[in-house]
Amino acid sequence: MTKRSRSEPTGEDLLATRRKLPIWSARRALLREVAAAETLILTGETGSGKSTQVPQFLHAAGYTEAGAVGITQPRRVAAVSLARRVAAEQACPVGSLVGYAVRFDESFDRRPPKRGGTAIKFVTDGMLLREAASDPLLSAYSALIVDEAHERSLASDVVLALLKSAQARRRSANGGGAGPLKLVVMSATLEVDTFCAFFDGAPAVQVLGRSHPVEVLHAAEPCEDYLEAVVTTVLQIHQLEPAGDVLVFLTGEDDISAAAAAIEARARLLPATSPTLLPLPLYAALSPAAQMEALAPAPPNTRKALARARLLHTPAVLATNIAETSLTIEGVVYVAYHAARRVDSLLQLPISRAAALQRAGRAGRVSAGKCFRLYTERTFEARPPSCNALLQRPPATPSCNALPCRLARASVDDLEEATAPEVLRRSLSATVLSLLSLGVKDVLSFEFLTPPPADALAAALEASSSHCAPLTTAARSRRTAACSPGCRSSRSTAEPCSPRGAGVSLGRCSPCSACCALFHSPHSHREAADESRLRFRSPGGDTLTALHVVSAYDAASGGGKARGEGRRWAEANFLNWRTLETAVQVRTQLVATARRLGLGDGDGRVPDGVASAAQPLSSEESVELRRALAAAFFLQAAVRRPSGDYVTLVSRQTVSIHPSSALFSRRAPCVLYNELVFTTRLYMRDLTTIEAAWLAEVAPHFFKSGAAAAATGAAPSAGQPRMRIHGGGSFR
């Protein structure tokens, strides 16, 4: 993480700020409630001080004498920034009394708090799951706070179920002397009843009051082109409103780049005397350092310079929903967003009312603010809220006639009350793998907050059995989960198809998972950037192309010894240097994990990723690597039809190759894809060419030979039955 120079507030300033937070005056009552109940559900408006203050209250009340107080966050950037803020409030360096642990980055003292270790620890939901894998009782903690529970991410739902079971075990004789585990489940707008019922009638309390008022304005008419509306609104805020930074929510990286370019171009047309407008992107694929950069204030040297910088530069942070919760972006006074949000695919859906309230709350964090909704008030209000006692509705607001929305058909449906839980929205494979790694034997009976559909769960179990077959022991799945950057690539790292495959996949393939954002293509140098892309293109597809780029980067940066050289090389080749650095870092960590777990070749050796990846791949290695990928991603195979389009082997969907793929103009007969995205049609992205025959070899329990031919419509030859899906059922 980079350190920014800034004028740090003093301890006294911070204490004064803390005292003004709505939760401060409720702290004694809150502590009484915590003492009386094993689990407490806490609601309160965004900015009331829940995330920063509740852990400090518990610490001050002595809970940390028996173990750390942990606070889970859905997003790593929030975990890190909250740890920094609370450390500042406690006047200690991050990593001492207050620390954090997020994937690939941690700063905390492992000793028990009463021996000087970290007492207040911010973690992502995913990190807590990992901790629970080795210590299901979570015995290092005396209390856990689950923040932003209303988001209902898969990881946080699973965390809640695990915490409930850890509480029960710690209550019983099996608790191993760990003592009781306090739990506080909190959020701004919450399905309180669901949580109270899940925790057997746990009490719920609400903190009233918001720190600063936010004026909410709606578009007078629906907007047809939301990007255009965003850009014009930002320009209007910049020209017409008093000083203050702008936070804009967009649906994804592409829209952010387009909006940034448009804002930059329009800002150039402003009179020379006009203050500068500075678009800053913020999305999850940015490196952690770049994310923190967007959150930091413009670097001031003195207070006077700060005032000047604020006057001269109005940062407009263009963010995805990463900034929806638990983030305080200093200086933000204006928030603008449309109702569109992006889901797992590139499909856009309306945000929920709960998310809209969260977004508006981003404007009132540090001072009074304004929220510009780029959709009509009718859209927001159309659905009567089902559980509105806790939702403080925004006051009746004037319509924002100055907004640039033309009269057009409504572009979004009326908003749902809350976003559906992730468990009902996406593939459950990752969850199943996590549960298995935690030793949950009967996944079908796992106590979910909202049980997923039984058939989706069964399909996920089947997929996991295919990945890890025969998956009978918790140890194997634990190993797979520990080693994998994501469920889908686990087998290429933890379950290589040959000893040599282990070397190839561990030393070479692992960084590829972080390489999807390698190339960038500035408008002004599009042709040169395209040429660079062509230079690296591998006939094996996008993953091998990414690998080729990382190998070349390793060579250019002397295996990490000459990072400056590496950076210059990356810039000259239109490559994202930060992404390359992240890829190398991820690889180093995966290699270390693999060594720790004793994975590797026949002699247990794991190649040093940096050294081995610096060499170009031989054709044998290319085959080995692609076979290893086939072993990992066989569920994501597609074959070309005589008509030229593709059909996915498992879901039998008609798909096309995404135009950004290295394989767009050379259509291999059989490919693996990393993801399916829907824009105008269903596209496969991040492709690798494979031989169709490998599928039956690497996953014989899943495919029978001839499957690919059958799927393309060609008649299967005698003795080659059509593909069938394995019945599973061996792991109840």
Q: Per the structure block, which two tokens stand in for 694?
A: 């490998």
Number of residues that bind ligand CDP (CB under 6 A): 18
Of 582, 495, 598, residue with least CA distance to 546: 582
Question: Which residues inside 31-70 make contact with ligand CDP, applying CB under 6 A?
Answer: 44, 46-53
Minimum CB distance to ligand CDP smaller for 50 or for 567: 50
Instruction: Give yes or no for a contact between 505 and 540, defined as CB atoms under 8 angstroms apart.
Output: no
Q: In the stretch 196-225, what mask flags binding to ligand CDP with x, by CB under 6 A? A: ---------------x--------------
Minimum CB distance to ligand CDP smaller for 46 or for 156: 46
> Closest approach of Cβ 214 to ligand CDP, in Å?
12
Minimum CB distance to ligand CDP smaller for 98 or for 663: 98
CA–CA dist 544, 619 (Å, integer) = 12
Q: Does the footprint of ligand CDP cover residue 256 (CB under 6 A)?
A: no
Minimum CB distance to ligand CDP smaller for 328 or for 484: 328
Minimum CB distance to ligand CDP smaller for 262 or for 355: 355
Cα-based distances in Å from 678 to 87, 273, 343, 353, 551: 43, 44, 10, 25, 31
Q: In the stretch 341-370, what mask flags binding to ligand CDP with x, by CB under 6 A? A: ------------------------xx----
| Cβ neighbourhood burial of 522 (10 Å; 0-12, 13-18, 19+) | exposed
C-alpha torsion sign, points 59, 63, 64, 65: positive
3-class state of residue 294 by DSSP: helix
> Closest approach of Cβ 75 to ligand CDP, in Å?
12
3-class state of residue 124 by DSSP: strand
CA–CA dist 690, 475 (Å, integer) = 30
Minimum CB distance to ligand CDP smaller for 46 or for 434: 46
> Closest approach of Cβ 70 to ligand CDP, in Å?
16
Minimum CB distance to ligand CDP smaller for 54 or for 459: 54
Cα-based distances in Å from 303 to 10, 89, 295, 486: 14, 21, 19, 45
CA–CA dist 190, 298 (Å, integer) = 34
> Closest approach of Cβ 574 to ligand CDP, in Å?
34
429-437 and 474-483 are packed helices; what angle lies between their axes, rounded to 10 degrees? 120
Which of 251, 328, 484, 538 touches ligand CDP (CB under 6 A)? Answer: 328
Query: Pairing state of beta strands 214-219 and 369-376?
Result: parallel
> Closest approach of Cβ 318 to ligand CDP, in Å?
19
3-class state of residue 323 by DSSP: helix
Helix (H) or strand (E) holding 698: helix 692-698
Question: Which residues inside 2-31 make contact with ligand CDP, applying CB under 6 A?
Answer: 21
> Closest approach of Cβ 226 to ligand CDP, in Å?
27
> Closest approach of Cβ 278 to ligand CDP, in Å?
21
Please enumerate, as own/partner, the contacts of 551-556 that have beta carbons within 8 Å and a separation of 24 or more. Answer: 551/508, 551/613, 551/614, 551/615, 551/616, 551/617, 553/580, 553/584, 554/584, 554/610, 554/613, 554/614, 555/614
Minimum CB distance to ligand CDP smaller for 19 or for 409: 19
> Closest approach of Cβ 127 to ligand CDP, in Å?
18
Q: In the stretch 72-101, what mask flags binding to ligand CDP with x, by CB under 6 A? A: ---------xx--x----------------
> Closest approach of Cβ 61 to ligand CDP, in Å?
17
Q: Kindly report the CA angle at 74 between 7 and 62, in degrees rounded to 5?
A: 70
Other residues' Cβ atoms within 10 Å of the Cβ of residue 383: 14
Residue with tokens 């900015």: 47
> Closest approach of Cβ 583 to ligand CDP, in Å?
28
DSSP code string of 626-658:
HHHHHHHHGGGEEEE-TTS-EEETTT--EEEE-
**β-pair partners for 205:** 42
Residue with tokens 């608790």: 175
Minimum CB distance to ligand CDP smaller for 216 or for 430: 216
> Closest approach of Cβ 103 to ligand CDP, in Å?
19
Minimum CB distance to ligand CDP smaller for 296 or for 438: 296
> Closest approach of Cβ 28 to ligand CDP, in Å?
18
Minimum CB distance to ligand CDP smaller for 21 or for 231: 21
Question: Which residues inside 508-537 make contact with ligand CDP, applying CB under 6 A?
Answer: none
Question: Which residues inside 269-308 make contact with ligand CDP, applying CB under 6 A?
Answer: none
> Closest approach of Cβ 301 to ligand CDP, in Å?
21
Of 711, 701, 712, 695, residue with least CA distance to 722: 711
Minimum CB distance to ligand CDP smaller for 329 or for 547: 329
**β-pair partners for 683:** 656, 677
Minimum CB distance to ligand CDP smaller for 14 or for 387: 14
Interface residues with ligand CDP (CB under 6 A)?
Answer: 21, 44, 46-53, 81-82, 85, 211, 326, 328, 365-366
